[in-house]
Structure 1
Amino acid sequence: MALRGERQGAAEHGHRVTAAIACHVARAGGTVDDLTRLLLHPDHEGGRHARHIAVRSGQARALDYIHRVWASASVAVSSTVALESRQHAHEVLAALRDRVETTPWPGERGRTALRVLRAHLTFAEIAGGPLHHASERQTAEEAGISRTTLRAVYETVLKPGGWLRRLKVGHGREGSTWYISDGSTGHHGIPAALSRSRTTQYPPDPALEEWHTPETDTGADIDSTVIARLMGHDAFAHQGLGSSALMILGALHARPSQTTGELIRSASVSRATAYRALRRLADHGLVHHHGETWTLAPRALEGFGTAPPHAVTDPSAQLALGWDAVAQQYGTLGVAAGRRARHAAERAAYRELLDRLAEHRSKAVVIVRNGRQVLVPPPRPDEIPPAWCAPGGRVLDPATGRPAPDWRVASDGRLILLTPADQRSYDELAAAHAEALSEWETAA
């Protein structure tokens, strides 16, 4: 009899093997019938999990499981790209970056989704392909947002939109496994019921254009590299300049000298948001207004503002002297450091818990053998006294000092007890299996 945890681990391993085989058959142009014949063939080792389901729960249940695996594999294969080389991987990521930069991201939630997606794109570029690993804390620190906001964006924008797919949930010291794609398998845009810009009880005056209109849904063009470099700074926190200023900076860096109407389209912001963000940036001397067009100050991306030439300085304007000074003015200085410290404390507490679980000592087992009680130590290799170990995996009886005939040290160092049931031949084991299976089916 196997422990429940071991049975669950074996089932998960078998499912992963089955899913990998299904993906291979789908990529090779096979069908679900080909996969069924392959998995149910008695000589195919990879189909052990499917055949085990057939023996345990019946043929119909196994066929239903195979069809579900095939459906998931078909979706995965159709939405992924087989990378032929490192150069091909870089080309795929470059095309994905262009797709991200030319996709409209309207609304506050859309701009936050862009920050999260750009963080994952950075992780993918480091990993060398769309498949990468990232934890929630790591992504939140990179994007400069909280974990609560991160989860909301995952579930409402990026996953439904087909931009991100979590292949494996992180456990222990390993982060989650993600696959980043171009969003072609999901619906685009922000769900109306989930957009923060649509949470007011009554719609605003259409003349104010508070909501994004068709003019903001076309012509998006930003430099996501600029956004990735600045989004983790305190100056662009929620109570600071915000994501709208990030979009304006990214749009002006990609294409200088734009009018307000052009910025509405290229930065995917509403007219009111564009005016508000430009006003804040202009107060710090980070953008300059020349007639109808806006341009970046010479050192705007470094956080240093300059007064435009031949312009009357606004008494309320304070030229930026670095992003830290901007963050201090808005009261957001230290937000990122506090978030990293909190995450570090959470990681330390979690790792301490994992260490305690790894060192958990199970209770000793007492068995009765030949009329006397025998204490079997907990199943840990380092808890078996060295004096008990003899050459050849045998165990010395601590009372007599002679090898005990029924005790052995397993390959993993644990102490095991051999019984007459362990000495059965293959035919005897097969007969016992058939008898147990018959009893199981009769009871069911």
Structure 2
Amino acid sequence: MPNSTPHALSQRNSTHFHGLLEYARLPSAAADLILLGDLTGRYANGSYSRLASNGRTVALRADRQGAADHGHRITAAIACHVARAGGTVDQLTQLLLHPEHEGGRHARNIALRSGQTRALDYIRRVWNSASQTVSTTRALDSRHDAYEVLAALRDRIETTPWRGERGRTALRVLRAHLTFAEIAGGPLHHASERQTAEEAGISRTTLRVVYETVLKPLGWLRRLRVGHGREGSTWYLDCGSAPGHGAPAPLSRSQTTQFPPDPALEEWTTPETATTADIDSTVLGRLMGHDAFAHHGLGSTALMLISALHQHPNQTTGELIGTSSVSRATAYRTLRRLADHGLVQHTGETWALAQRALEGFGDGLPGADTGLAATAAQGWDKVAEHHGTAGVAARRKALHTAERATYREVLDRLAEHRSKAVVIVRDGHQVLVPAPRPDEIPPTWHAPDGRVLDPATGHAAPDWRVATDGRLILITPSDQRSYDELAAAHAEAISEWNSAA
């Protein structure tokens, strides 16, 4: 940076500063970044350091590598500002290659080292990436704006028809990510596969299937960075446009341009279902992790019907088919199961949730001919026990905990470059026994004369010897030296090495 204070630099470039704002329609923060560079160090985080191989400490990068990374981040930020302001790649090039713009130092350094053509190619690549990012994201100026975006996304999720079992499972996964995003305070959030599977109440295998076949192809969810070590993956919820379509969608219950899932993904469509739905995803998110709604329990269909009835009580079966995006046959079958558990009530032509149904309590229908209806379900745990799914969530969580512990143990061993050891308790003290090396043999294989006994025949193996430290030594036919001669040669080699050192 030139030997001038930021204030003096701003004074000298005052006229150019206002021209820049008018020229590219950029906000003042973007103009400061272009003229003065990254004075606050906002884009330097992580540029000059990296996570060491042990996964715990931070190692410094070379100055040139750190400066290049820092400069690239500044360049990318400027490109995003210009793209969001409706600028062009030519305007970005002029801003970056201007000799008085500190924010373009990285691009100018590339031009000096590698030529103007290489710098222009670099700027074009950055511009293409920035344009794609800006077209699929929305600028959030405050935490309030982030919550408004998430609320609009929740509304769009609730009015989208999620047809088929795979679509309903995808809704559970998407609702789990929306919960994580609400905790994080914006569409950008971190979550691991195990964490999401526990929140959605499904297995990791099912989770990956709906990721790859529904949510990611249709644009609901993007994985920006794959998790590694102790960090979960970085995800971004698409809040700006309708999944699978380029135009922004109206975010309201009364009008939506959401399209149903692709039939090629094995999602069925029928004339009896509407093009919009209307459910309460908050209720769905609260119940979906319970054992009662596991795969062999009530399932995702019951979640959709309960969420639709909570949003609008007293619906007919035809109305429920539209609001829950469930086929007629599946709706009748699931409603009967819910009624048997005393969770819904049928009055005339309409259905409604039973009193205290969301807490898992309800009264059986009078006159029902099932033995289950005679005994009211005492909570969701009783429902899970009836369907044989009690304890599924606890077992899944215990499995994930064990997998995490094993994975972290492997990471620690790799970080320390050591092999697995055994810990035994002797006299109340823990004793660490190193793992056996490949050239170690059991004591029962040792012959009195230093040879190795073949465990299959019990005879001495002619090509092997046992060293004094218990290691195996192979005596090949081309090497006719005895063990004593080998030991003497090894001692001589060690002596020569020490003398040379």
CA distance in 2, matches of 1:373, 1:360: 29
Classify 1:360/1:69 alpha carbon distance in 2 versus 1 (closer, same or farther; 3 Å).
same
Specify the alignment match of 1:296 in structure 2: 353
Specify the alignment match of 2:490 in structure 1: none
1:324 counterpart = 2:345: no
Specify the alignment match of 1:190 in structure 2: 261
Which of 335, 343, 354 is the equivalent residue of 2:400? 343
Which of 152, 172, 184 is the equivalent residue of 1:127? 184
Give the aligned CA root-mean-square deviation in angstroms: 3.0
Give 1:36 deviation, angstroms. 3.2
Which of 352, 364, 372 is the equivalent residue of 1:307? 364
Partner secondary structure for residue 21 of structure 1? helix
Give 1:79 deviation, angstroms. 2.5
For 2:206, the aligned partner's letter is T
Comparing 314-323 with 51-60, which one deviates more in the overlay? 51-60
Give 1:17 deviation, angstroms. 4.9
Classify 1:313/1:85 alpha carbon distance in 2 versus 1 (closer, same or farther; 3 Å).
same
Specify the alignment match of 1:157 in structure 2: 214
Q: Answer whether contact 2:83 2:131 (CA < 8 A) is retained.
A: yes
For 2:159, the aligned partner's letter is T
Classify 1:45/1:229 alpha carbon distance in 2 versus 1 (closer, same or farther; 3 Å).
same
Q: Answer whether contact 1:162 1:182 (CA < 8 A) is retained.
A: no
Q: Answer whether contact 1:307 1:319 (CA < 8 A) is retained.
A: yes
CA distance in 1, matches of 2:352, 2:326: 17
CA distance in 2, matches of 1:67, 1:108: 44
CA distance in 1, matches of 2:119, 2:129: 16
Q: How big is each residue's C-alpha offset from its partner over 1:378-405, in whole Å with a ceiling of 9 and x where there is no partner?
A: xxxxxxxxxxxxxxxxxxxxxxxxxxxx
Specify the alignment match of 2:284 in structure 1: 227
CA distance in 1, matches of 2:236, 2:146: 13
Which of 251, 270, 282 is the equivalent residue of 1:213? 270
Give 1:168 deviation, angstroms. 2.2
Give 1:145 deviation, angstroms. 1.0
Specify the alignment match of 1:172 in structure 2: 229
For 1:225, the aligned partner's letter is T
For 1:116, the aligned partner's letter is V
Give 1:267 deviation, angstroms. 0.3
Q: Answer whether contact 2:339 2:364 (CA < 8 A) is retained.
A: no
Classify 1:137/1:73 alpha carbon distance in 2 versus 1 (closer, same or farther; 3 Å).
same
Q: How big is each residue's C-alpha offset from its partner over 1:91-111, in whole Å with a ceiling of 9 and x where there is no partner?
A: 222111111111111111111
CA distance in 1, matches of 2:294, 2:231: 28
Give 1:30 deviation, angstroms. 2.4
Structure 1: segments with no counterpart, 5+ residues? 198-210, 362-370, 375-444
Q: How big is each residue's C-alpha offset from its partner over 1:216-270, in whole Å with a ceiling of 9 and x where there is no partner?
A: 2434110001000000011111111110000000000000000111000000111
CA distance in 2, matches of 1:338, 1:359: 32
Which of 304, 314, 331 is the equivalent residue of 1:247? 304
How many aligned residue pairs are there? 346
Partner secondary structure for residue 343 of structure 1? helix
Q: Answer whether contact 1:100 1:182 (CA < 8 A) is retained.
A: no
Which of 173, 187, 199 is the equivalent residue of 1:142? 199
Give 1:56 deviation, angstroms. 8.0
Specify the alignment match of 2:332 in structure 1: 275
Partner secondary structure for residue 216 of structure 1? coil
Q: Answer whether contact 1:166 1:179 (CA < 8 A) is retained.
A: yes
Specify the alignment match of 1:27 in structure 2: 84
Specify the alignment match of 1:391 in structure 2: none
CA distance in 2, matches of 1:111, 1:56: 55
Classify 1:58/1:332 alpha carbon distance in 2 versus 1 (closer, same or farther; 3 Å).
farther
Classify 1:335/1:351 alpha carbon distance in 2 versus 1 (closer, same or farther; 3 Å).
same
Instruction: Please identify the structure whose Cα radius of gyration is greater.
Output: 2
Specify the alignment match of 1:266 in structure 2: 323
Comparing 112-121 with 213-222, which one deviates more in the overlay? 213-222
For 1:170, the aligned partner's letter is G
CA distance in 1, matches of 2:278, 2:156: 10
Classify 1:15/1:237 alpha carbon distance in 2 versus 1 (closer, same or farther; 3 Å).
farther
Partner secondary structure for residue 371 of structure 2? coil
CA distance in 2, matches of 1:292, 1:42: 76
Give 1:61 deviation, angstroms. 5.6
CA distance in 2, matches of 1:43, 1:351: 50
Q: How big is each residue's C-alpha offset from its partner over 1:35-68, in whole Å with a ceiling of 9 and x where there is no partner?
A: 3344556776766766677688776565445334
Q: Answer whether contact 1:99 1:182 (CA < 8 A) is retained.
A: no
Comparing 121-130 with 163-172, which one deviates more in the overlay? 163-172
Classify 1:56/1:285 alpha carbon distance in 2 versus 1 (closer, same or farther; 3 Å).
farther
Give 1:117 deviation, angstroms. 0.9
Specify the alignment match of 2:342 in structure 1: 285
Q: Answer whether contact 2:187 2:239 (CA < 8 A) is retained.
A: no
Q: Answer whether contact 1:288 1:295 (CA < 8 A) is retained.
A: yes
CA distance in 2, matches of 1:342, 1:190: 32
Specify the alignment match of 2:461 in structure 1: none
1:73 counterpart = 2:144: no
Q: How big is each residue's C-alpha offset from its partner over 1:180-199, in whole Å with a ceiling of 9 and x where there is no partner?
A: 1247253243222222x5xx
CA distance in 1, matches of 2:277, 2:224: 30
Specify the alignment match of 1:353 in structure 2: 410
Q: Answer whether contact 2:342 2:376 (CA < 8 A) is retained.
A: yes
Q: Answer whether contact 2:71 2:105 (CA < 8 A) is retained.
A: yes
Give 1:215 deviation, angstroms. 3.8
For 2:261, the aligned partner's letter is I
Q: Answer whether contact 1:212 1:269 (CA < 8 A) is retained.
A: no
Classify 1:130/1:295 alpha carbon distance in 2 versus 1 (closer, same or farther; 3 Å).
same
Q: Answer whether contact 1:111 1:243 (CA < 8 A) is retained.
A: yes
Partner secondary structure for residue 179 of structure 1? strand
